[in-house]
Chains A and B, each alone.
Chain A
């Protein structure tokens, strides 16, 4: 039986004004009906270009140079555009990552879902709308009839993504290409959408290509995975084989670089030094050689072909393949765990205390005068503390308030009520010079490496600026400190003379980290420190942060939506939902003994790069969408999505209760037994 989609030796190039981008090179991929195949790679790997090539939607200057694309034995390469148009959205459909920008903001949902049907089936307006309704129900959109007249901006991210899927399915395609379908979504919604895709594939029988950078996403949903690097497929294997016994060093590195929930935080992550090659200027040999620890002269000179032939299930392109995952990871240090235990011996003085903090943002309305009609309840009554030398992690999905809390801690915003004290002093009651001095001790490292540095200041000035503002040290002393700091974050000295735009994302993040450290603060707040970076770069920065934590012995607060990252970096973790702290505890507490249903759901729905674990996952039963932070549910805010919710949850706000030393959770019907019935102190 011929495959639904069969791509052989596909090579795509993009002609720029002065150079040629070799986006895709000699790629073979085969997908049968009822099968999902994964295509994994980082940004710049060519995976998105591959999808666009299949549909014939390459950007200006792009064209397929070689190879064949067959759908049900029909050759697509070389087809005139008029015929390709009949195939797009009809036989082959594509789902894009960003549903916000991929839907036309000026047309209703109904119109957009009906459009392909009218185009390809020649349906009348009524017939098309009926079909639209049918397909919207299929994708599980609640109240589809009412939604037909809605505009995209009226729907949440998860619902919009369902609409995108509906559009793709409206004409019963044979092949579905899903390009990062869940990357922009929250974890709990992500699980829903992925399950939906699986279900649809089973029912409708499409050949699905799942394109993503997330190894966890492909682990449980695909039967075969292709790993792409710099435009080439470097390894392809059935899913289980890939994870258990990968052969290509890149695959090995990639899987080792991802922090996982069950990884030991005492062990360093595998790092892949360097950055991907420039696709306009490719090296003659293996494209991965520059970053590969096993590379030899042969690798640099000759490009390895894919091993074996078509019939081999597991193929890789490497002269010196490895044998399975990294066996031994280096221990970071015993020193760290020692210093942590030393402190937790009953020292009542917390370095940073957050007591019952509230922060709300007004929502205004009114014809002439803007009155406040409602408020976004960003942070509602959070109590936390951080001790010297320890790292507290804050994790939660969008709207949970973790970023706001971070801003409150650093003083960019003031809490509406509650206290934030540093070393016993309420920092934000201070004014003028004393406030400025106090700010030395609280520094922030921002998420977006591109935006947090002034583009017009050289690195040296950016790094000196905190010292200048605080009036510390002479010019010479400042320069000296800056130079040392640059070295400790792993950047060469001549970086000082450069401007931010000359650095890559990972390098900018190092500069941002250096700037946060230059005042030697007592507390650093890192807001999504690695989310904007590619996977293979992330581990570089994460290892660096770990090392600096130990060296400088500072307290830090790490904020992220990625629980694995938080768990890897933190001693204790706080889980937030819609402005409230729902659980607090050590990494182990959270991972192995989660008491709150939300924490449990988070852990269970996060895709892990382990096929067997993925397959054995139970359905945790998290339904629905995130409620609006303007009108959060009464009582326990999680109750609308909680499988254990009962009337009490709507009536009473649950208090934090103790479940073990340092382990608290706020739930009326927790998953663990509390230590005693009383509410916990802080």
Chain B
């Protein structure tokens, strides 16, 4: 380009042109894509995400995995593994994680335990997210007394401490189920409890987002163009809520996994013979407190829990930070 001395641009026409940036070299990036990029840039998050995927695969293919490793199944009792005092033996070649007090292989039980943890954690969170989002959305969009009633109900559930609520419901539904047969004792009850305990958080967060969105000017703008409420809901609000929703869900999963473990530990969750990490720790605890130090089936299920929850927490943390960063073009 060559510059030549010239008069200052007095031409209104020419000055109306905005020649600043040549757009050719910037690639277009949507805000959601920015979020994903920020996530990817964290090594911890990537490792954790990979670990979670591996875990999911193992859980789904549990019988196959157990077969491949070559240990006995999770519910196979093998009295021969107990030593002369009738106490379980520790890790050995045949049973890398040892056996429990009924001769069942701990490694197999840990692998099968993943199924419950992930099933309850992910399913429960999913249901809670959908329910909570629906409530928060309706409350936020319609406002007025609808909002007051809905959020009042949400706050009501929040008043109960999670574990105690779980204890109460777990105990009540343990005998013959709840809700006219819909909620069965065992896994069904636990999922029900998890949903009840976590949907309020989603509902509150979603409502807060909706309220702040509805006051944003682009919603005003749409309304002034004649958009109806439902159109605003679908075109303006929902897309802007998708990314946060996913993040809330991911952040809730570890809490729910721990909740499930706690409930099983206390005896109102999943009970024998189904393999469950919390329940295994409970059994191990009893034995230890009565003097039979069988550390292996205390440590391994606990480690499994710790690592799973840690992985989800790391992913959730990174996502949260990425979500809250201002939207600029640099990742």
Contacts and interface: CB of A to CB of B under 8 A. Distances in A.
B225 A330 contact: no
Interface stretch (A102-110, A132-140, A445-453, A634-642): A445-453
Among A326, A329, A490, chain B packs the most CB atoms within 10 A around the CB of A490
A410 to B, nearest CB: 5
Given A271-B15, A273-B20, A544-B16, 11 more contacts: A268-B10, A273-B15, A412-B224, A439-B224, A452-B221, A465-B222, A492-B23, A494-B24, A502-B26, A504-B21, A510-B18
B20 A330 contact: no
Nearest to A445: B221
Nearest to B223: A412
19 contacts: A268-B15, A273-B17, A330-B11, A332-B12, A440-B226, A456-B32, A456-B240, A465-B225, A469-B225, A491-B18, A494-B23, A499-B29, A499-B30, A501-B327, A502-B29, A504-B20, A543-B16, A544-B12, A546-B12
A329 B9 CA distance: 10
A443 interface: yes
Contact of A295 (B3, B21, B221, B236): B3
A252 B10 CA distance: 13
A293 B31 contact: no
Interface of A: 249, 252-253, 256, 268, 270-271, 273-275, 289, 293-297, 299-300, 320, 326, 328-330, 332, 410-412, 435-437, 439-440, 442-444, 446, 448, 451-456, 458, 465-466, 469-470, 489-492, 494-495, 497-499, 501-502, 504, 506-507, 510, 515, 519, 539-540, 543-544, 546-547
B226 A469 contact: yes
A440 B19 CA distance: 31
A456 B6 contact: no
Nearest to B213: A454
B266 interface: no
Given A293-B6, A494-B24, A411 B224 contact: yes
Q: Contact size class for B?
A: 35 or more
* Residue among A249, A499, A507 with most chain B CB within 10 A: A499
Given A501-B328, A540-B15, A540-B16, A330 B10 contact: yes
A309 to B, nearest CB: 27
B30 A466 contact: no
A11 B4 CA distance: 32
Interface of B: 2-13, 15-21, 23-24, 26, 28-32, 216-218, 220-227, 231, 235-236, 239-240, 327-329
Contact of B220 (A320, A326, A412, A495): A412
A494 B28 CA distance: 10
B185 to A, nearest CB: 42
Nearest to A543: B12
A498 B217 contact: no
Contacts, number: 150
A452 B24 CA distance: 25
Contacts of B6: 293-294
Q: Output the residue of B2, B220, B223 with the most chain A CB within 10 A.
A: B220
- Among B10, B221, B327, which residue has the most Cβ atoms of chain A within 10 A? B221
A646 B194 CA distance: 71
A209 B12 CA distance: 36
A294 B5 contact: yes
Given A273-B17, A444-B221, A451-B218, A456 B31 contact: yes
Contacts of B15: 268, 271, 273, 539-540, 543
Contacts of B222: 454, 465, 469
A412 B21 CA distance: 35
A293 B218 contact: no
B237 to A, nearest CB: 10
B233 to A, nearest CB: 13
A249 B6 CA distance: 12
Given A271-B15, A490-B18, A444 B224 contact: yes
B20 A501 contact: no
A465 B218 CA distance: 12
A595 to B, nearest CB: 33
Contacts of A271: 9, 15
Contacts of B221: 444, 446, 452-453, 515
A448 B236 CA distance: 18
B8 A268 contact: no
B227 to A, nearest CB: 5
